[in-house]
Amino acid sequence: MTDGGKTVSKTGYFTHRDCWKHEMGPGHPECPERLDAIEDRLLITGLGDALERYEAPEAALADIELAHGRLHIASLRGLTDWLREEVEAGGPSHTQVDPDTSINVHTWKAALRSAGAALAATDAVMAGEISNAFCAVRPPGHHACRDKAMGFCFFNNVAIAAKYALQRYNLQRVAVIDFDVHHGNGTEDILAGDDRALMVSFFQHPFFPYSGDQNPASNMLNVPVAAYTRGMDVREIIEMTWMPRLEAFEPEMIFISAGFDAHREDDMGQLGLVEQDYAWITHRIVDVARRFSKGRIVSCLEGGYMPSALARSVEAHLRVLADL
């Protein structure tokens, strides 16, 4: 695509400095350094120059309500206000939401930016400004259920964007593809039974959040895989299970929950993927998008906790999205 002789990058990169300010305490694996690792990799490799950078806006609460109950949204906002008062009075800097998940005074804004990135990416892709997009955001989203924050997640960025695409652009069919090592239980909770959406995923099982294997709704294709499964086996699973369902569904837009914690170097899980596997998976998704979705893909960062492996995997994912 050219614009008056100037080449316009076809892959958008959405992030915001607010996403660095949310943190859950010393030593927590879901940390701001994850985004630093990605940014450093883009700089060192020069890949960042090939991407169209966007500042993520804050999501409108009305759009978050497409996927979440008002009470859930209000309680997170109220908890933030309470914590701010506590901090100003010399109290603790964090408050727990679940045993693994806590907020600081910046979490609310970061969560709005993360969802806002997915929404703005959807708008930019639908407008034809870019072909596809990657949202380098945190907190992640795929464990956030309609009425519950959990598993490092507060708002379900991908589910919000998928619901928004259906409503705002009157699309008939959207696909959500989740390759995080953990089952995207929140996305399933929000999208199950909505036949306009198809969700396909693989995930280590049995493993947190101990779900996804019990009679899922007909629009969910969950493939539990055993610990120590290697990339070639995952590729075969994708070819045999995901591809026929995606091709039959003919999605008009594709959303990716891009978790990179199934990497063999990531000790958050015990799967054996490497960068080349993420490149291959992304190629297969791009193939489907080109055939049915006018190339329209919005990918959002989920897990990936070993900074070096995360950065290399995101690079591999982005190179395929950007066709480099």
Domain ranges of the chain: 11-322
Give the pair of three-digit tokens for residue 63: 């759009």
Give the pair of three-digit tokens for residue 187: 């996305």
pTM: 0.97
What is the b/e burial string over 164-183, where b = at least 16 CB atoms within 10 angstroms of the residue's CB?
bbbeeeebebbbbbbbbbbb
Name which of 231, 205, 227, 226 is nearest 216 in CA terms.
205
The model's confidence at residue 244, banded by pLDDT at 50, 70 and 90, is very high
For the stretch 204-235, pLDDT in tens is 999 999 999 988 999 999 999 999 999 999 99
CATH fold of the domain at 11-322: Arginase; Chain A (3.40.800)
Q: Which residues are catalytic?
A: 143
The model's confidence at residue 9, banded by pLDDT at 50, 70 and 90, is low
The Cα angle at residue 244 between residues 146 and 122, in degrees rounded to 5: 45
Using CA atoms, how far apart are residues 61 and 78, in angstroms rounded to an integer?
14
**Average pLDDT of every residue of the chain:** 96
Burial of 304 (0-12, 13-18, 19+ CB in 10 A): buried
> What is the pairing mode between strands 11-15 and 52-55?
parallel
Sequence-distant (6+) residues with CB within 8 A of 6 are none
